[in-house]
Chain A
Amino acid sequence: MPKFAYVPLVRVRLVKIAVCVKQVPDAGAPKRLDPQTKRLDRSVEGALNPFDVNAVEAALRIKEAGEGEVVLVTLGPAKALESLRRALAMGADRAVLVSDDTAEGSDLVATSRILASVLEREGADLILFGQQSSDSDGAVLWSAVADRLKLPVVSQVAELDVGDGKVKAKRQTEFGYDVIEAPTPAVVAVSDAINEPRFPSLKGIMGAKSKPQETLSAGDLGLAADAVGEGGSRTEVYALHDPPARGDSVKIEDDAGAAEKIVDYLAEKKLV
């Protein structure tokens, strides 16, 4: 692994960090697309998108190194607040939920518009995202939000330092590590390699429910009904199909003959 001098920046008081998070179906819940709406069925039990937990942890570590506030920002149904409690229990200070029937079915263009208006209102010094969402596998939202806010953006960040009016981020690309600097306010998407998130303490869990949790409508943000939801979106779903057939998958437990079975399998497939 390449080694290079990584000098932490001088930390100064940071006022506000916004973390954009999402409620996704719980890992144990059945995931399906509704054949009628062709959207993800979100009636199942929800959880905080696992990749967002790393972003929350990154925000808390920055806050704890100085002083500041960590605000969770999300778009979703009213019950999304339940999933945000885990992040509040970890130590985030408050949550802002945009929940509006008219915002249902928002695609990237509409979602980024909604988040940008909340973030504009919050005026955070640093806006964090997780690596991707586990339900739509999207890994694009931060860049759309940054463009709307006209702020610098860095993604796939595995190390992050904030202070001195700037962020210093070590990111990973297909070709190696890059170190990028940008003045704050800035938008940063962290990868799940950045940290090992903490578990909420009992005290944190007890206190989470009473932390400030604000719910806004699209109208509260001054967004017209046709700027959000399907009207504000530019993509659509035509049809759902079964995936192409895959060959039969074989699973064997090691019974001391596993190596032989692998060779037989490869021979059958003419790979050895």
Chain B
Amino acid sequence: MSTLVFLEHHGGELQKGALGVLSKAASLGDDRVAGAVVGSGVKDAAGGAGAYGAQTVYVFDDPRLEAPLPQPRVDALASLVQEEGFDTVLFAASVLSADTAAGLAARLDAGLNWDLVDLAREDGRLVGKRPALSDSVYVDVGWTSEPRIALIRSGSFDPAQTGGTADVQERQADIQDFSLAATMVEQAHEESEGPSIEDADIVVAGGRGLGSPDAFSLVEDLAKALGGAVGATRAVVDAGWYPYSTQVGQTGRTVSPKLYVACGISGAIQHKVGMQGSGVIVAINKDPNAPIFEFSDLGVVGDLHEILPKLTELIRARKGS
């Protein structure tokens, strides 16, 4: 068995999710576990994957690979998988990884299973565990041919250092014309300030139900009282109420704190995928039918403008005593 893990990078660093998947791959007992880093100016970051279990890291370093776009990455990975004969290719879910994995599946006529929360070797075959239909059923999925391609749900595996070193090999990508047709015109990325919400033990998040950007102060006050970080939904980030770096969800950060307090958040699938791994989920929403109540541990139907100030006061009093 030989597994290749796509190692996504951002800002010169390999992404935590990808390193988590790499650690998992290394724990499955394959003969070969390798990583692939595809980008421009990424050589320095690549070697670090050795510590998480990669024996080899293949680096495609090319100015044409600078923008985080999927199609040139499909070209690079397709040739690598074929030349090196990997039988399994794993991706940690992200916007870039999902598009790259699906393009690769079509290119190699290979099976893709997505949203997996675990991988196991059972009876000599690789089995993926996939929660389906709002996590109401867990499905054991597999592949009928090689290579097997999988997208792993965000936050499923934590990176684990094994202390190894990787042999870094440089490769040249043979990029097709159509893969370079889409071009990045502009990137408007904000660098987040302060501690990342991904590392916070407690996250208090606000959504449309707050009613106005000013009401975010209620969320901030509660987060401060609890010693947590503030999160936001895509809707309020789009509306300009709160910074992009705090967005939790499919197009934002994936968090799995010990406590997640959702204030005025309906719980759309877009948001759910970013926080469903949280330890305890408390939801406050005035709509008793909000989907968030289907996956919260404590659901409170009520007016958050009344509940939040009182809750903040009680927490402060408790911590002060």
Contacts and interface: CB of A to CB of B under 8 A. Distances in A.
Nearest to B288: A253
A240 to B, nearest CB: 6
Contact of A253 (B94, B181, B258, B301): B301
The size class of the interface chain B forms with chain A is 35 or more
Contacts of A151: 178, 181
Given A152-B71, A258-B300, A176 B188 contact: yes
A168 B128 CA distance: 37
Contacts of B27: none
A139 B311 CA distance: 38
Contact of A137 (B269, B306, B319): B269
A248 B153 CA distance: 24
A235 B141 contact: yes
A263 B315 contact: yes
B215 to A, nearest CB: 16
Nearest to B135: A243
A140 B151 contact: yes
A2 interface: yes
A69 to B, nearest CB: 24
Contacts of A262: 282, 284, 298, 300, 307, 311
A109 B99 contact: no
A134 interface: yes
A178 to B, nearest CB: 5
B142 A236 contact: yes
B136 A108 contact: no
A237 B127 CA distance: 9
Interface stretch (A73-81, A88-96, A186-194): A186-194
Contact of B106 (A112, A135, A182, A259): A112
B226 A259 contact: no
A147 B106 contact: yes
Interface stretch (B35-43, B48-56, B164-172, B233-241): B233-241
B111 A193 contact: no
Nearest to A144: B106
Interface in A164-181: 168, 171-181
Interface string B123-158: 000010001111111111111110000010000000
Interface in A212-235: 233-235
A32 B132 CA distance: 10
Contacts of A237: 139-142
Interface in B82-127: 94-96, 98-107, 109-115, 127
A121 interface: no
B186 A179 contact: yes
B10 A175 contact: yes
Nearest to B127: A238
B111 A254 contact: no
A234 B106 CA distance: 11
Contacts of B314: 259-260, 263
Contact of A150 (B100, B176, B184, B185): B176
Interface of B: 10, 68-71, 74, 94-96, 98-107, 109-115, 127, 131-145, 151, 176, 178, 181-190, 202, 226, 234-235, 237-240, 243-245, 250-253, 258-259, 269-270, 280, 282, 284, 288, 293, 296-303, 306-307, 310-311, 313-315, 318-319
Given A108-B111, A250-B299, 8 more contacts: A38-B139, A173-B95, A182-B181, A234-B111, A252-B299, A254-B301, A267-B318, A272-B318
26 contacts: A109-B106, A109-B112, A112-B105, A112-B106, A131-B270, A137-B115, A144-B103, A144-B105, A147-B74, A172-B95, A174-B252, A176-B244, A179-B184, A179-B186, A186-B182, A193-B234, A235-B142, A236-B142, A238-B141, A249-B298, A252-B299, A254-B306, A258-B300, A259-B314, A262-B282, A269-B280
User: Which 9 A/B pairs are nearest by Cβ-Cβ distance?
Assistant: A254-B302, A234-B111, A176-B189, A140-B102, A259-B310, A143-B102, A2-B188, A235-B111, A144-B106
Interface of A: 1-2, 4, 31-33, 38, 40, 107-109, 112-113, 131-132, 134-148, 150-156, 158, 168, 171-183, 186, 191-193, 233-244, 246-247, 249-254, 258-263, 265-267, 269, 271-272
